[in-house]
Amino acid sequence: MTNTGRRPLRSAAWFDNPDNPGMTTLYIERYLNYGLTREELQSGKPIIGIAQTGSDLSPCNRHHMELAKRVREGIRAAGAICFEFPVHPIQETGKRPTAALDRNLAYLGLVEVLYGYPIDGVVLMIGCDKTTPACLMAAATVNIPAIALSVGPMLNGWHRGERTGSGTIVWKARELLASGEIDYPGFMDLVASAAPSVGYCNTMGTATTMNSLAEALGMQLPGSAAIPAPYRERGQIAYRTGERIVDMVWENLKPSDIMTRQAFENAIVVNSAIGGSTNAPIHLNGVARHLGIELDNDDWQRVGLDVPLLVNLQPAGEYLGEDYHHAGGVPAVVAELMKANLLPHPDAVTVNGRSIGENCGDVENLDTKVIRPVASPVMQKAGFINLKGNLFDSAIMKTSVISDEFRARYLSNPDDPEAFEGRAIVFEGPEDYHHRIDDPELAIDEHCMLFIRGTGPIGYPGGAEVVNMQPPAALLKRGIHSLPCIGDGRQSGTSGSPSILNASPEAAAMGGLALIQTGDRVRIDLKKGTADILISDGELARRRADLEAKGGFPYPASQTPWQEIQRAIVDQFDKGMVLKPAVKYRDVAHT
């Protein structure tokens, strides 16, 4: 039928293929049966997918079911047809054993949908933690025009006149409960106050981090990340996102044009400036690998470590999502970075066809208490340190959440200000930790380091968010709120603990953590970037041989088919936790 004379569309191979009228009929007839017309499907209009991550099972993203209506209207207004379809749900707080296990499952499912159906471009409905990387990874592999739309954070939480932030309040409430300052109903009230509306976590947890970074990468319209879910601007930007993807299809502006190495370096800088989650390197390294870009934790330290923390959001700071939006969101952060020449690649292109510098350079910071200028940051040098040694090849530490208390106790030796040593207390996973942390026989004091292992992508499928371990109650009562924590798991982005985490390779992959024993002395040197058990190489080799003779580091059996499949082919955290066989597939929509 009518082709508009513009470039041939991928969907025409299904719906308007004169070389194969039989197949065209077969492909098209079921899409007519709910009322679409032949004119619509054969008019040469782009077909736009809406990758719906919201459902009753995923409350953080559930508001996308409303926003999709505005996206559809935008798509229609711009002259295209839309097909909305479900993405495998991933709810951070509801999925056992871990939501992270499902990131790669949702990725695989979305790749199949985008490859196998007549879709010319896609709107990725991102939000809750793992939904963002799952969608970006799939867009990277398929490489059809794609634009992301955040569902937006919840409104600020309030309790007795104070802001209560999602996730972050849980850590505080647990301490109050453990020390007897509140009872269980008080605990419930305090925690629930932090989730007052639809939307994702209102703190700078993994969700706000990953949505901000999707914008910093250029994959969302400017300003899209921070608008709270219930605000009218959220519906308005949903409409504009729908309009814009149609033009992106005609321009053939693809994920690989936007998510370049330069874009990832911009995102790393923005991550430091916002105080982003330690889950970000896992996810961004993973997205990059699906684009054939080598990005590792050395890049995070090199590009991000010296960047100051500008965004004063919990857990590193005071404010919450609404405040971040009112101050100007990601564009205001980028503008502050640009004023100080700290954004490495202002010319990186974004979904609107303009560069990030053009989009953000003139944006005004509307509240310098919430988004600080570079000259008066919340903290200098707020990036991640990448540590290495006989404990692991790579583990990161988020410097922006090192508290004054922690710094005074561990990082203030005048002869050795950035190093500390301690006696290792080793836990075999979260259950063992909860069981034994208050065991007086362990004699845990402020000179101990808490280790947790068996919690990486293989050991605890997907990797558990458990490395931020609270000290025993006896120490809490003495006012000691954090001990150095080290592990092969992750930690929630809403936690304010300066843990050393995402250790790779994990114990279950026979990394050095498999060999440590309670009582070992360990030395961490932040300046040198080292983390070592202070024993001889010979002793380490002996322990390794012993463990190998017993069949390697033990971990529990898989409970579902997917757990077993993922464990067999998943890579380590520092390599993006991707499915190893998947990374060789590029541009699959064009094959």
Binding status of residue 385 toward ligand FES by CB under 6 A: no
Q: Given the rule CB under 6 A, which of 199-207, 308-316, 553-561, 574-582 is the region that contacts ligand FES?
A: 199-207
* Identity of the residue, 3 or 93, whose beta carbon is nearer to Mg ion in the bound complex: 93
Candidate residues 200, 427, 555, 573; the one interacting with ligand FES per rule CB under 6 A: 200
State the nearest-atom distance from the C-beta of 60 to ligand FES, in Å.
3
Binding at 256: pick from Mg ion, ligand FES, none (beta carbon under 5-8 Å per type): none
* Identity of the residue, 206 or 285, whose beta carbon is nearer to Mg ion in the bound complex: 206
State the nearest-atom distance from the C-beta of 161 to ligand FES, in Å.
24
Q: What distance in Å separates the CA atoms of residue 158 and residue 504, rounded to the nearest whole number? A: 38
- For residue 153, what are the β-bridge partners? 200
Q: Given the rule CB under 6 A, which of 197-205, 300-308, 353-361, 368-376 is the region that contacts ligand FES?
A: 197-205
State the nearest-atom distance from the C-beta of 570 to Mg ion, in Å.
19
* Identity of the residue, 24 or 278, whose beta carbon is nearer to Mg ion in the bound complex: 278
State the nearest-atom distance from the C-beta of 128 to ligand FES, in Å.
3
Dihedrals phi, psi of 278, to nearest 5 degrees:
-70, -5
State the nearest-atom distance from the C-beta of 494 to Mg ion, in Å.
6
Candidate residues 17, 55, 93, 355; the one interacting with ligand FES per rule CB under 6 A: 93
Q: What distance in Å separates the CA atoms of residue 99 and residue 282, rounded to the nearest whole number? A: 14
Q: What distance in Å separates the CA atoms of residue 287 and residue 304, rounded to the nearest whole number? A: 18
- Residue burial 254-275, b: 16+ Cβ < 10 Å; e: rest: bbbbbbbebbbbbbbbbbbbbb
Binding status of residue 201 toward ligand FES by CB under 6 A: yes
Q: What is the DSSP letter of 559?
A: S
Binding status of residue 574 toward Mg ion by CB under 5 A: no
> Are the CB atoms for 126 and 210 separated by under 8 Å?
yes
Candidate residues 49, 54, 205, 315; the one interacting with ligand FES per rule CB under 6 A: 205
Q: What distance in Å separates the CA atoms of residue 90 and residue 130, rounded to the nearest whole number? A: 7
Identify the helix (H) or strand (E) that includes residue 395.
Answer: strand 394-398
Q: What distance in Å separates the CA atoms of residue 294 and residue 406, rounded to the nearest whole number? A: 34
> Are the CB atoms for 388 and 529 separated by under 8 Å?
yes
Q: Given the rule CB under 5 A, which of 125-133, 190-198, 265-273, 532-540 is the region that contacts Mg ion?
A: 125-133
Binding status of residue 102 toward Mg ion by CB under 5 A: no
Q: Which of residues 29-88 bind Mg ion (CB under 5 A)?
A: none
Identify the helix (H) or strand (E) that includes residue 38.
Answer: helix 38-41
Q: Residue 226: which of 239, 244, 207 has the closest Cα? A: 207
Binding status of residue 492 toward Mg ion by CB under 5 A: yes
Binding status of residue 102 toward ligand FES by CB under 6 A: no
* Identity of the residue, 131 or 394, whose beta carbon is nearer to ligand FES in the bound complex: 131
State the nearest-atom distance from the C-beta of 96 to ligand FES, in Å.
14
Binding at 109: pick from ligand FES, Mg ion, none (beta carbon under 5-8 Å per type): none
Candidate residues 16, 84, 92, 428; the one interacting with ligand FES per rule CB under 6 A: 92
Identify the helix (H) or strand (E) that includes residue 543.
Answer: helix 537-549
Site string for ligand FES, 124-143 (x = CB under 6 A): ----xx--------------
Residue 187: helix, strand or coil by DSSP? helix
Exposed/middle/buried for 439, CB within 10 Å: 0-12, 13-18, 19+?
exposed
State the nearest-atom distance from the C-beta of 92 to ligand FES, in Å.
4
Q: What distance in Å separates the CA atoms of residue 502 and residue 235, rounded to the nearest whole number? A: 36
Q: What distance in Å separates the CA atoms of residue 28 and residue 180, rounded to the nearest whole number? A: 65
* Identity of the residue, 394 or 492, whose beta carbon is nearer to Mg ion in the bound complex: 492
Q: Given the rule CB under 6 A, which of 201-209, 338-346, 384-392, 506-514 is the region that contacts ligand FES?
A: 201-209
- Residue burial 529-556, b: 16+ Cβ < 10 Å; e: rest: bebbbebeeeebeebeeebeeeeebebe
Binding status of residue 90 toward ligand FES by CB under 6 A: no
Q: Which three-class secondary structure string do you get for 196-231?
A: CCCCECCCCCHHHHHHHHHHHCCCCCCCCCCCCCCC
Binding status of residue 206 toward Mg ion by CB under 5 A: yes
Binding status of residue 268 toward ligand FES by CB under 6 A: no
Binding status of residue 100 toward ligand FES by CB under 6 A: no
> Are the CB atoms for 523 and 534 separated by under 8 Å?
yes
> Are the CB atoms for 101 and 562 separated by under 8 Å?
yes
Binding at 492: pick from ligand FES, Mg ion, none (beta carbon under 5-8 Å per type): Mg ion
Binding status of residue 129 toward Mg ion by CB under 5 A: yes
The label of the residue with tokens 């961004």 reads 284
How far CA 179 is from CA of 442, 444, 463, in Å, comes to 20, 17, 29
State the nearest-atom distance from the C-beta of 89 to ligand FES, in Å.
11
* Identity of the residue, 144 or 151, whose beta carbon is nearer to ligand FES in the bound complex: 151
> Are the CB atoms for 367 and 323 separated by under 8 Å?
yes
**Beta strand pairing call for 394-398 and 500-504:** antiparallel
* Identity of the residue, 130 or 244, whose beta carbon is nearer to Mg ion in the bound complex: 130
Binding at 299: pick from ligand FES, Mg ion, none (beta carbon under 5-8 Å per type): none
State the nearest-atom distance from the C-beta of 376 to ligand FES, in Å.
30
* Identity of the residue, 92 or 428, whose beta carbon is nearer to Mg ion in the bound complex: 92
* Identity at 555, one-letter amino acid code: Y
Residue 589: helix, strand or coil by DSSP? helix
* Identity of the residue, 61 or 386, whose beta carbon is nearer to ligand FES in the bound complex: 61
Q: Which of residues 52-71 bind ligand FES (CB under 6 A)?
A: 60
Residues of this chain that interact with Mg ion (CB under 5 A) are 92, 129, 206, 492
Residues of this chain that interact with ligand FES (CB under 6 A) are 60, 92-93, 128-129, 166, 200-201, 205, 207
